[in-house]
Structure 1
């Protein structure tokens, strides 16, 4: 349901679709990068889930990586409800937790059953790509048309809509605030420590076979866009000091994600040479 804002120069599109008030250019740009980060995180786990089901094996992922990520998302989702954050944040928390359950379930199922069948056709088929394009097109089309509609409605019939609700602020002297804040900060070491375990496993195996490149492209994109969103929003020293834990929580994983992507390229080359050597030996 769209809402209106008290500031006369507010963005009708953001108020209409997201029920939030934003008027300054830097706020809107920060908001856009924030949503680019969210979109990256929404699709992040799918490439690895898909690859697990195609290969029917899950040796590539570090169990500590999965565990840290899962526990981090539990803390994050719980803090959203404890601090009574916006509906979108609660929904995304539940969504990410659900995808964690699917990925962890597939990982440990294939690890325990040790299926011998592996599919050689892990590339994206034409029909599969077509389905993804249609889904993305429908989502973008709906967002664009909703934006035009709400912009028109709030421009010509603004009085018909209520003032946007402000985010609930929990008093700092309450147990609820401290429990929610501790849970929110507890996600930081979980997300930071998850990547080094995967980097170590890749190095130990000298292989990244079975590891999805798409997973780490999406997570690095999510972290980088989150960093850009925070720095665009404000360069005030007080603001940056307050956001330091969240900057660290995005910067360290982003660096580690890039390291994993480099490992994938290095070990992919080694794997290709290994296959060539094996084929030569069989001649």
Structure 2
């Protein structure tokens, strides 16, 4: 017997969200490597995100979620640590070459290495559109393919673990803490962008985050709109919706500073 349409659509959206979260860190890790600098990131953004991923992982373990979900939580935490290592490593590397430059303050001017891009270098709109269109196609295709593979494999369903009231409260608290951290992490990054003009920051990080949160929230709502079900997932829904809002602000900053850079180049204004 085939599953209801809502369950199928929810599964596809869930797998699509998973695809987004697997690759979300890659653009920024590569950006840091190519620039030999991690100064595009707010260090507080990464630390708070790390706390969010850590509490998310702890909640997944206590809730007895699938091993794949626990492994993903561990993967997210590892990626956060990689970003932190990049930031501090490139600061240490730069300090060896430029003794007079202080990298202790996170508002230090960016891109101090020989791999720096010119500030007036702007990626063509067609290239940007193609990149993001390809990203969306990747997410949709991956979601459909993963759903098809998972639906063709018979898995014995196990009844959900029953937790004591105190344990249930702990799990919910970890979920809300994680949601608040994901939300709060964007604030220092938005503030930092106003001084760095988003240089050294990969917009794809926030684009995949928006896609991941949107598809995740939709997978929950499509599955069921019953009150109890929505209340159980309220922390994740709230975190996803509000994080999308803040990520859109970051992408708006990218667009605004890109527009200003083009205008300055057209008028021959030196930065």
TM band (smaller chain): 0.7 to 0.9
Q: Residues 108 and 144 from structure 1, CA distance in 2 versus in 1: closer, same or farther, beyond 3 angstroms? A: closer
- Please state if 1:181 is matched with 2:183: no
Match for residue 31 of structure 2 among 51, 62, 65 = 51
Which residue in 2 is equivalent to 1:70? 50
- Please state if 1:38 is matched with 2:18: yes
Find the aligned partners of 2:247 and 2:57 in 1 and give their Cα distance: 23
Structure 2 matches for 1:125-204, cutoff 5 A? 147=149, 151=152, 164-173=156-165, 175-203=166-194
Match for residue 103 of structure 1 among 79, 83, 87 = 83
> Do the aligned residues in 1 keep the contact of 2:35 with 2:115 (CA within 8 Å)?
yes
Task: Give the 3-state SS of the residue equivalent to 1:57 in structure 2.
Answer: coil
Q: Highest relative contact order (Cα 8 Å, sep 6+), 1 or 2?
A: 2
Find the aligned partners of 2:148 and 2:236 in 1 and give their Cα distance: 32
Which residue in 2 is equivalent to 1:242? 232
Match for residue 255 of structure 1 among 245, 258, 261 = 245
Which residue in 2 is equivalent to 1:3? none
Structure with the greater alpha carbon radius of gyration: 1
- Please state if 1:84 is matched with 2:64: yes
How many pairs align? 238
Which residue in 1 is equivalent to 2:107? none
Deviation at 1:59, TM superposition (A): 2.0
Find the aligned partners of 1:90 and 1:35 in 2 and give their Cα distance: 15
Deviation at 1:192, TM superposition (A): 0.9
Deviation at 1:47, TM superposition (A): 0.3
Residues 229-254 of structure 1: CA distance to partner in whole angstroms, max 9, x if unpaired? 12211222333333322211000100
Deviation at 1:117, TM superposition (A): 1.7
How high is the TM-score relative to the length of structure 1?
A: 0.73
Find the aligned partners of 1:29 and 1:146 in 2 and give their Cα distance: 12
4+ long deviations beyond 3 Å: 119-123, 143-148, 175-181, 272-277, 279-282
Q: Residues 255 and 63 from structure 1, CA distance in 2 versus in 1: closer, same or farther, beyond 3 angstroms? A: same
- Please state if 1:231 is matched with 2:221: yes
> Do the aligned residues in 2 keep the contact of 1:227 with 1:250 (CA within 8 Å)?
yes
Find the aligned partners of 1:241 and 1:268 in 2 and give their Cα distance: 41
Find the aligned partners of 2:208 and 2:222 in 1 and give their Cα distance: 21
Q: Residues 43 and 145 from structure 1, CA distance in 2 versus in 1: closer, same or farther, beyond 3 angstroms? A: closer
Find the aligned partners of 1:213 and 1:26 in 2 and give their Cα distance: 32
Residues 89-126 of structure 1: CA distance to partner in whole angstroms, max 9, x if unpaired? 11111111111111121122223433522244998xxx
How high is the TM-score relative to the length of structure 2?
A: 0.76
Deviation at 1:216, TM superposition (A): 0.8
Give the root-mean-square deviation of aligned CA atoms: 3.3
- Please state if 1:216 is matched with 2:206: yes
Unmatched 5+ stretches in structure 1: 1-8, 11-22, 124-128, 155-160
> Do the aligned residues in 2 keep the contact of 1:60 with 1:208 (CA within 8 Å)?
yes
